[in-house]
Homo-oligomer: A and B are copies of this chain.
Amino acid sequence: MDRQYPSAALERAVGEFSRLPGIGRKTALRLVLHMLSRPEEEVSTFGRVFSTLKQDIRYCKVCHNISDTDICSVCANPKRDGSVVCVVENVQDVLAIENTMQFNGLYHVLGGVISPVDGIGPSDLQIASLVERVSAGGIDEVILALSPTMEGDTTNFFISRKLSGFGVKLSVIARGVTVGNNLEYADEVSLGRSILDRTPFV
């Protein structure tokens, strides 16, 4: 067991860092000591940014993506196709899909997936607001772009039931072999899926 740090202020700072995911006490100590080698202004700016972070960050009232304005830049963009809504888990997924440049519709950020193990139920996610959005009309297709996991599939199923009866087209992103990899290295499930979900060769 490690001895205690020689200072309560150091202990406190290391404790705060090591509470973050993926950061152990050794890394935390290295980070804190790095900060101590930096100018005071830089370190206090770091602190100030995080002490008001939760107040500073706002969410789009339509899609629940992080935004500086009430309506985010995607939802407010008249060039985007408002009739297609892509349902994703989180902000990273929006960034990832935007980077593909293959989607010109709008998003709906759930804030996670249904996961009984983690105590996350449908009411913890932005599902009710998705149903509301669809029932308001103007949406022709909802694309489910959740992680291809048990939790993602459960959430897809739950959403599909909630949206049945609104006459909206439901689709799920394609699952198959990854582009650029040798077929022999593909996992069985994805390869099997790629055969079942084969598309016409153009």
Contact = CB atoms under 8 A, between A and B. Distances in A.
A16 interface: yes
Contacts of A35: 20, 50, 53-54
Given A8-B68, A66-B10, A3 B53 contact: no
Interface residues of A, number: 57
A57 B36 contact: yes
A51 B61 CA distance: 32
Given A95-B2, A95-B3, A16 B32 contact: no
If over half of A's interface residues share one DSSP class (helix, strand or loop), that class is named, otherwise mixed; here it is helix
Interface of A: 2-3, 5-10, 12-13, 16, 19-23, 27, 29-36, 40, 43-58, 60, 65-68, 72-74, 90-92, 94-95, 98-99
A73 B8 CA distance: 12
A5 B49 contact: no
